[in-house]
Each structure stands twice: as structure tokens, then as C-alpha cells.
């Protein structure tokens, strides 16, 4: 991934990509749109590029747009017949069938109540129908998915969630050196955390939310300062 940051605005025509598209195959990611022969940005933010030909706009956003395969954290809102309505921070509430849990049968329903937090995968997402979630993988095992009890949960921007999930992201590694903890990051900008003590959980939550305002350069500093967060 290149670090050149040209800022693009919605509606801006990006000639560089058009040029490249003439010679080779180009993939347009989120925030970019093709209108006939032109490439136009649909969101504001720095333009990112990944070799060989992937482009996207890394815009700041808090409203989640569901996409198939995403791992999300959702709050159960209501029971509706054989479905649960789950708030995942998207424009529409998602639904999850009570059969979409490990070892669930018609007789043996999972015990979920409004307010419960679940970690789930988006099964299908389309602009016109409400997104559907599952808490099992293709062979019916729950893996890491399911209800998250205890711990602390907070919301952040989608960018921060994505940054934490990036493979080469130093944050979680740096924090692990300080203390042991469990974390679940949803790409919908929601984070669940659990450490041994309440104090440690609060410190971790504060450290991670502090990353929201900081650039990549400050990550090490903030993670190193975790000790300070703990004392306060």
C-alpha cells in the first residue's frame, strides 16, 4: 500500500486511474465509482492505492454499510417470531434466525434477550433487503462467534475498526506486550474488550479510543503510555 495521500472530494474525476485502466486491469474499491469511461470519487478522503491495480478512498465514516462476509458486533433489539432483530449500526436493523447458532434446533432455542451483544458474520447484504447475520460457520460450528457476555463494549469510527483489523497493525501487538486481554473488533466500528480486571479494561478502552484522534506515528507512544492510563 502506498502512503501517498492525494485527497479527493466527491464528484472529483480521477484521471490517474483512467490512464492506468487503459493499459491494465484496475479494481475500484469503496468510495470510487465508474461512470461510463470516467472514474469519479463518491466519498471524501485520501486516495489509497495497492499494487497492482486496486484503488479506494479511505474516508472517515461512522455509519456502517453491510457487506457479505464482514464480522460485526451487534446489539439484540427485539425478538420477532423466529428471528432476532439486531442493531449493527447500519441504516437498517439486521436479522438473525434462531437456528443460526451452534447446536440450535427448533426445540433448543438460544437464549437471547434485548440488550445482548453478539459477534456475528454478515451472511448476505444488499441495498434492498435487510442484512442477515449468522453465528456459525459453514460446518455449523460457532468458532469465535456468538454472545459476548461481560467485558466492556464501545463504539468508534469505522476507520479505527478497520485499522485494528489490518494484518500489519502494530496496535494490538503493542498492547499485548503490556497486558493480556480478549478483544472482538467489528468492522462496523464496535469493539468489545475484556481484561483481567476492570481497571485494565478501562485502560485498554481509553488507549484504543485515544488512537481515534492520533496518526500512525503516535501508536507506539500511546501503547507505551498504557501504564499511565492504568494509574489514572
Partner 1 sequence: MFMNSNLFEPGKSKPERSFVQLAVKQNQRFDGRRSNECRDVELTFGADWGTVAVSMGDTKVLTHVTCDMGAPATSRPNEGKLQLNVNLGGVAFLDEVQTTHDQRSLTLNSLLERTFRSSRSVDLESLCVAAEQHVWCIRVDVNVLNHDGNLYDASTIATLAALMHFRRPDVTFTDDELRIYTEKEREFIPLLFLHYPVSVTYCIYKSSGQPIVDPTLLEENAADSVIVLSFNSYQELCSLNAGGTAPTNVRTIMQCARNAATRCKSLVDFVRKALLLDEERRLQGGRLVNGLVALIGNTQHKLSFNKLMSCQKQEPQPAPTEKMELDNESSEKPEVEEIEVKEEPSKQETGDAPMDSSGWLPQDEDSQELSIPSDASTSKAGKGKQNRSKNKANKKPQQKKQTDHSDSEEEARQYI
Binding site for partner 1 (CB under 8 A): 75, 77-78, 87, 89, 113-117, 148-155, 192, 198-199, 201-202, 205-206, 232
Size of the chain in residues: 232
Nearer to partner 1, 168 or 213 (CB): 213
For residue 232, the minimal CB distance to partner 1 (Å) is 4
Nearer to partner 1, 54 or 59 (CB): 59
For residue 34, the minimal CB distance to partner 1 (Å) is 31
- Within 8 A by CB and 6+ apart from 179, the residues are 195, 196, 200, 204, 226
For residue 77, the minimal CB distance to partner 1 (Å) is 7
C-alpha 79, offset from chain centre: 25
Say if CB 52 and CB 24 are below 8 A apart: yes
C-alpha 215, offset from chain centre: 18
Distances (CA, A) of 61 to 17, 36, 45, 128, 135: 24, 27, 10, 21, 26
Nearer to partner 1, 36 or 81 (CB): 81
Instruction: Please list the residues that pair with 194 across neighbouring strands.
Output: 182
Nearer to partner 1, 139 or 149 (CB): 149
Nearer to partner 1, 26 or 112 (CB): 112
Q: How far apart are CA 32 and CA 10, in angstroms?
A: 9
For residue 190, the minimal CB distance to partner 1 (Å) is 9
Q: How far apart are CA 116 and CA 128, in angstroms?
A: 27
For residue 75, the minimal CB distance to partner 1 (Å) is 5
Amino acid at each position: 500500500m502506498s502512503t501517498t495521500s492525494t485527497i479527493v472530494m466527491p464528484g472529483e474525476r480521477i484521471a490517474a486511474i483512467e490512464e492506468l485502466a487503459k493499459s491494465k486491469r484496475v479494481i475500484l474499491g469503496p468510495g470510487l465509482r465508474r461512470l461510463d469511461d470516467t472514474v469519479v470519487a463518491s466519498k471524501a478522503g485520501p486516495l489509497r492505492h495497492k499494487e497492482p491495480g486496486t484503488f479506494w478512498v479511505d474516508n472517515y465514516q461512522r455509519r456502517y454499510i453491510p457487506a457479505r462476509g464482514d464480522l460485526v458486533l451487534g446489539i439484540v433489539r427485539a425478538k420477532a417470531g423466529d428471528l432476532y432483530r439486531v442493531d449493527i449500526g447500519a441504516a437498517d436493523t439486521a436479522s438473525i434466525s434462531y437456528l443460526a447458532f451452534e447446536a440450535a434446533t427448533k426445540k433448543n432455542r438460544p437464549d437471547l434477550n434485548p440488550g445482548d451483544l453478539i459477534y456475528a458474520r454478515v451472511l448476505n447484504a444488499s441495498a434492498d433487503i435487510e442484512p442477515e447475520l449468522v453465528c456459525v460457520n459453514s460446518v455449523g460450528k460457532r468458532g469465535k462467534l456468538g454472545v459476548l457476555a461481560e467485558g466492556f463494549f464501545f463504539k468508534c469510527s469505522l476507520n479505527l475498526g478497520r485499522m485494528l483489523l489490518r494484518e500489519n497493525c502494530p496496535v494490538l501487538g503493542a498492547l499485548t506486550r503490556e497486558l493480556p486481554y480478549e478483544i472482538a473488533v467489528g468492522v462496523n466500528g464496535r469493539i468489545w474488550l475484556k481484561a483481567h480486571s476492570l481497571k485494565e479494561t478501562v485502560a485498554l478502552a481509553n488507549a484504543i479510543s485515544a488512537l481515534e484522534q492520533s496518526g500512525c506515528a503516535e501508536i507506539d507512544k500511546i501503547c507505551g503510555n498504557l501504564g499511565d492510563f492504568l494509574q489514572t
